[in-house]
A and B are shown apart, each in its own frame.
Chain A
Amino acid sequence: MSGPLLEVEGLKVEFDTWDGRVRVLDGVSLSVSPGETLGIVGESGCGKSMTALAVMGLVPKPAGHVTGGAIRYRGEDLVKASDGRMRDLRGNRIAMIFQEPMTSLNPVFTVGDQIAETARLHLGLSPAEARKRAVEMLRAVHIPEAERRVAEYPHQFSGGMRQRVMIAMALACEPEVLIADEPTTALDVTVQAQIFDLLEELRAAEGTAIVLITHDMGATAEMADRVVVMYAGRKVEEGPVDAILGNPAHPYTQGLLACRPNLQLGHAAARPQLHEIPGVVPPLHLLGRGCAFADRCPRAMPRCGEAFPPAYDVGESHAAACWLLEEARAA
């Protein structure tokens, strides 16, 4: 297929809160093609999960609303799609796995039933066929003794194993897009690597497009083809993974990369120097007209507080939204 499989354009999501209406996403755009992995990075609260939920049609109701933009799956705008159409796509063509493997599985059903349920719903399999499919999927995600474990309950699995079950469930209908929202945050490091290997293996085998949401720059470097950097509900930079990691254009991206512990500093004894970006993400209802990062930006200028910068191309399909880039261009 030519062109992107999933395309988000100018997405706006707003929430009704006690502080009035807050804009949680403001003009987010991204796209992902078959077999590609798109990384979405950014600090906590910048709207990564909300972007994913919006694509799934699962923005929490009644407080949340998609108030603008389009989400196109094979050209069809999902913002305008009916509930029934969204249910057909969810878990079938577009699937999602969540940050919290410990609580994301229903404690009162066996993992087999939970995987089989999706297969029965979307593929119309009989109970027996669906159960076979569940065993198959457990094998595909490398859970040992799948025939036995298919009849076990979530509490009998470790965190890493539960995340494998979640992945098995999400992939049971061979979706074209898999959104993985911080799939390893709750797991320990060795297990994290296994989960990433698994996702990579499945992508290679099935050609699934993956949207990988993470704080982890290391995982992004390893997994992603392209990266979108978000800050306070907006996309601030986007580009090929090498360009983003090697030549970040936005001060926020530069800050994020500096935060990454660099363990190859030469002297074994030297403690890696950890940077941090001073300050915190501002509360969304207090956002002004200007760049949301201005307060924390080491290179902020007066105009940064006045208007949000447009995106400037800084390389081959690499763009960032920062006034510095205009200055640089003018110079």
Chain B
Amino acid sequence: MGFAAWLARRIAYAAGLLAAVAILNFSLMHLAPGDIVQTIVGEMGGASEETIAQLRKSYGLDRSFPEQLGIYLGRVATGDLGTSAYYNQPVLNLILDRVPATVLLVVAALGLAITLGTFLGVMAARFPASWLGAVVTIVALFGFSAPVFWSGLMLLLLFASVFELLPASGMYDVAQGATGIAYALDVAYHLVLPAGTLALIYLALYSRLSRASMLEVLGSDYVRTARAKGLSENKVVFKHALRNAILPVVTVAGLQLSAMLAGAVLVETVFTWPGMGQLAFESILRRDNQLILGILLLSAVLVIVGNLLTDAAYRFIDPRIKTGG
């Protein structure tokens, strides 16, 4: 199957999937106790039955559930995600403002976890008797068992409070008002801790995974062939074996993109990183349903796009997939 046909098919699937996600989200939100009107009334310190009924009507909450769902889906289909009750601004704009920060965080964390994790795993497989194997095991154990919010706080304490090496919060230094390259550097500087925290758990996973996969590949017949050609061991490992050994890492990374987005909510909250996760967290506290629905839908879009990119990467790395299926 050619790339274009494959892509078209995948986009059609994605549209169906998104519709299902939208229906599910809306239903769940409907089932959850409390709504925006209750929050408003609560903040107003109480209101008459009449006012409440009026408010409910103005938010369309007086209609039946199927009607509400139909109206919601109709709007979403035209790209209108509604208005945030809290910000009184279009949901889409609010989210799009936040998407770059989250994408930056997740991509940086994923990149760090994949490259460093794979590197550690490969080196541990390449030198099985060395201390590297022990390091990988310990890092993996630590990364796996430490919850993100805890390791985040610990890293924060260590690098921002004790050593004062890295900024504790935010995405850039407002006081500097830097632009261009200086701005990019400033953002990168602020990115280190949150991305490192988010990467930690996956770094652990990928180093274990790539070590196991590398050990298996190093015992394969085609690696023996590569050695029989007279290639140096580094060429054998990093050229012939790595490309095969990294396939499981790519698969798992793709599958875990959604988990990583969930982790981003915590990390963004801990480090006040101005991304979608932070917005989601605040919106849930504020019962800003339209905004929550919008964020959930956009997250689904991000996950689907991520999986698409994963599959594309897979097709690029492993030629068997192109003709195979």
Contact = CB atoms under 8 A, between A and B. Distances in A.
B244 interface: yes
Given A100-B221, A156-B323, A108 B318 contact: yes
Nearest to B219: A60
B248 to A, nearest CB: 14
Interface string B220-259: 1110111111111000000010011000000000000000
Interface string A125-159: 00000000000000000000000000001011000
A94 B235 CA distance: 20
Contacts of B318: 107-108
B181 interface: no
B222 A103 contact: yes
A98 B129 CA distance: 28
Contact of B222 (A89, A104, A155, A156): A104
Contacts, number: 71
Interface string A66-107: 000000000000000000001111111001101010011111
Contacts of B220: 103
A247 B148 CA distance: 76
Interface of B, helix, strand, loop or mixed by DSSP: helix
Contact of A108 (B129, B229, B243, B324): B243
B270 to A, nearest CB: 40
A315 to B, nearest CB: 36
A62 interface: yes
A90 B232 contact: no
A105 B225 contact: yes
Contact of B231 (A109, A110, A121, A166): A121
B79 interface: no
Given A106-B244, A107-B222, A56 B229 contact: no
Contacts of B317: 108
A214 interface: no
A36 B102 CA distance: 68
Contact of A106 (B129, B225, B232, B324): B225
Contacts of A169: 225, 229
Contact of B319 (A88, A95, A98, A108): A108
Rank and list the top 5 A-B pairs by shortest CB-CB distance, nearest first.
A90-B230, A91-B229, A91-B230, A103-B221, A106-B222
13 contacts: A88-B230, A89-B230, A90-B230, A91-B229, A105-B222, A108-B317, A108-B318, A110-B319, A117-B231, A118-B230, A121-B229, A156-B323, A166-B225
